[in-house]
Amino acid sequence: MRLFLVRHGEAAASSEDSLRPLTSEGKKRSVQVAKLVASLASKESLLVHGQLLRSLETAELIANENPKMRREECSLVSPYGDPVALCSWIIAREERHLVLVGHEPQLSSIASYFLLGELRPILQIKKSGIIVLKKEHESWSLRALLAPKHY
């Protein structure tokens, strides 16, 4: 399995966190992320996102670059959602490539859990950043940690 952990783009300020849309800069960077993900992930990848607007908008931009990706909303994807529950959900999917658009600190916790078996974040993902993990046999490895300045 190849797992792409994508942090949503920069979002506007709002009193209602779940309704924060991407800023124009957030959209621009998310399009760059979308093009990169389209070049790295298979066309048959599963694209998963949470219910918050900024996650949904980032996922839509990725889907626009790769319309053959299957899309799914997952209620476990949230800034302070349970990373262990989401890790179990990811493993149960048995996908070849899974692209997860989400939030910090959950994404860093997922990476740490798969790499170290603990939730203490060892990596930080910037807005519009990507962590790529690969599972071979029963172990996970870090394949890439990309900040927006790299693409």
Name which of 43-47, 98-102, 107-111, 120-124 the model is least confident about: 120-124
> Has residue 86 got a pLDDT over 80?
yes
Domains of the chain and any CATH numbers:
2-150 (3.40.50.1240)
Structure tokens at 1: 């399995």
4-20 per-residue burial string, b: 16 or more CB within 10 A, e: under 16: bbbbbbbbeeeeeeeeb
Structure tokens at 135: 């599972």
What is the C-alpha to C-alpha distance for residues 83 and 140, in angstroms, rounded to an integer?
Answer: 16
Structure tokens at 113: 């859990």
What is the C-alpha to C-alpha distance for residues 59 and 34, in angstroms, rounded to an integer?
Answer: 8
Structure tokens at 19: 């309704």
pLDDT class of 110 with cuts at 50, 70, 90:
very high
* Per-residue pLDDT, 61: 97
